[in-house]
Amino acid sequence: MATDSQTLPVTQPVNISRPKKQNWWRIILYIALIVFTLTYMMPFFSAIVTSLRTQDDLSLNGVFSIPQHITLENYPQAWTQGNVNRYLLNSFIITIPALAGAIFLSSLSAFALARYKFPGNRLLYFMYVAGTMLPFQILLLPVFILSNTLGLYNTYWGVIMIHIAFQLGFCTFVLRNFMKTLPGDIMDAARIDGASEWGIYWKIVMPLTVPAIAAISTLEFTWIFNDYLWAIILLQDDSLKPVTAGLSTLQGQFITNWPLIVAGALIATLPTLLVFLFLQRYFIGGLTLGSGK
Amino acid sequence: MAVSSPPLPRKKRKINWTPYLFLLGPLLIYLIWIILPMLYTFYLSTTNWDGISPEAKYIGLKNFSSLFNSLGKRVPSAFEYSLVNNLKWLLVFITIPVAIGLGLAILLNNNIRGDRFFKLGIFLPQILSLPVIALLWNYGVYNPRAGLINSFLIQLGFTDPPAWLADKQLVIWAIIFAAAWRQVGYIMILYVAGLKNVDPLLLEAATVDGATAWQKFWKITFPLLAPVTTIVVVISIIDSLRSFDLVWVMTRGGPANASSVLAVLMYIQAFNNYKMGLGAATAVVLFAISLVFIVAYLTRVMRDEMEY
């Protein structure tokens, strides 16, 4: 049996219960963590510094140098001349209905799958789970053709519909598992009191599911907002593009103005960043809910 | 929980239509936008459709044979590059970000002061969209002269630092590195959540028995985290097979296909070269590779499900 007096090998990681020598380890480890995290965030710092400089200064001296002068000009330029304001608005116009549609429809199927026994229940559940893992490429061409046929190509609704459909799988999966944990007695009691099945779904199960809905909504908001592939497949007009796709246009438009492109990219991160910072708890909850148990 | 048929004096058991009514809307949309398109891609992959002519001619498995016949040539084909790059991506993804994410989760689980700052800093890239990440790395980090790496190397006195995204050997690793940078935070958060379910009493008991931290990790923590690890590995595999955005924005698959992946190849075939049939075949190959892992994961979900 090892005792406390035994010398530890150098590779020993931290152990909470041993005083003194452990303190040194903790300090070294702590410094290492700070250095690691700051290094990890370097691409952000580098981007911020890039966005505050001028193209001439940057291409001459590189980002790893003292800036000759700092300018905020790139942000308003990206916002107006680069059309980032329009692109961001489009992102919201697409994301909000897509999110609402996916949550509502998946709550219906989740309720059916969680609360009723019927032939095909498990099969449908597995179908939804499998669907969450499909590579988008298997749907790309037919959805492109379908959107053309339905007259949805190059409209917001084309993108909204595929988001609703694709996110149904994941949302159903999470909500169904959550609804399965709700106590059945409340529903039976409501049924005895004469509540309709719709009433049970809407007045009893949905209010109880709010925590799960809040969690996946924050997550789904970020996912849909950050989509790029469907936007470039289904939208052609610049005036309709969400910010992810708009940034490519910006990149082409200002090919010799790197600071402006990076400034545009940084503005584009704000909505999801704010959602995450303010709804962090739900966001993380959604991630862990989505990963199973 | 389940609804039994109302106790009416009937002989035959009545079918309860309620769940089907709830499912009607979502299933219809799922059918039209997901299931049928998927099947349609299989059909397209057996045709030579060019996206313009009204008729698509059935050509059997010719698209697939042309893809696979292009393998092993002296100059690698676009398909070979894509396949190999997807494989590299996958192998990196299931090892390096998983190890780093797990390591960070365990460190940060020790009640370290300021753990929220560390978690936030490392998770932050996960919130950004991939095109944004692509631009940040393209201009801020990999830019041949002005980027973080090369301007640092130049300051150090290197006169000819590598052109990260223009070098055929380096380019895919440079992109995978940026992708892994984004992935670590996600994995860390999943492990942080998983560690909450590891009973600290178990670890304390092991400490009392004289177990080293290393032993405690391999004998207690890691086995208890096995379900999280499964999920993490599945997510990493699926993400690496889906990769498109980063490559597309950073390099368009270039230089000379060196950074192409199957998703990018498929896009180029279908939308740039108007070879819809060939593009569909590439998509089917990608799907077939994913299917192995989808099925493996589904079997696990099913096993859990049967325990209810």
Residue A59: per-residue pLDDT = 81
pLDDT-derived band at B184 (thresholds 50, 70, 90) equals very high
Residue B12: per-residue pLDDT = 57
Query: Which of A211-220, A249-258, B162-171 is predicted with the least confidence, judged by mean pLDDT?
Result: A249-258
Q: Where are the domains of chain B?
A: 39-69+275-308, 79-261
Each residue's pLDDT tens digit, B73-93: 888 899 999 999 999 999 999
**pLDDT, mean of residues B222-239:** 91
Q: Which residue has the higher pLDDT, A154 or A25?
A: A154
Q: Evaluate if residue B259 carries a pLDDT over 70.
A: yes
Each residue's pLDDT tens digit, B99-113: 999 999 998 887 778
Q: Which residue has the higher pLDDT, A70 or B301?
A: A70
Residue A233: per-residue pLDDT = 95
**pLDDT, mean of residues B16-39:** 94
**pLDDT, mean of residues A133-144:** 93
pLDDT-derived band at A20 (thresholds 50, 70, 90) equals low
B238 touches chain A (CB under 8 A): yes
Of B37, B193, B267, the CB nearest to A139: B37
Residue A101: per-residue pLDDT = 97
Q: Evaluate if residue B2 carries a pLDDT over 70.
A: no
CB contact under 8 A, A139 and B33: yes
**pLDDT, mean of residues A260-288:** 89
Residue B199: per-residue pLDDT = 85
Rounded (10°) CA dihedral B159, B164, B169, B172: 170
| Average pLDDT along chain A | 88
| Average pLDDT along chain B | 89
CB contact under 8 A, B3 and A108: no
A77-290 homologous superfamily: MetI-like (1.10.3720.10)
Q: Which residue has the higher pLDDT, B34 or A292?
A: B34
Of B130, B148, B280, the CB nearest to A64: B148
- What residues of chain B lie within 8 A of the CB of A115, using their CB? 1-3, 19
Q: CA B132 to CA A247: how far, in whole Å?
A: 8
A40: nearest CA partner in chain B: B122
Q: Evaluate if residue A44 carries a pLDDT over 80.
A: yes
Each residue's pLDDT tens digit, A256-267: 888 999 999 999
Residue B244: per-residue pLDDT = 95
Q: Where are the domains of chain A?
A: 21-76, 77-290
Query: Hey, what CATH class is B79-261 in?
Result: mainly alpha
Task: Work out whether the CA dihedral A168, A275, A80, A251 comes out positive or negative.
Answer: negative
B contact residues 260-279, partner A, Cβ 8 Å cutoff: 262-263, 266-267, 270-271, 276, 279
Each residue's pLDDT tens digit, B283-306: 999 999 999 988 888 888 788 777
**pLDDT, mean of residues B204-230:** 89
Q: Evaluate if residue A225 carries a pLDDT over 60.
A: yes
Rounded (10°) CA dihedral A44, A45, A49, A52: 60
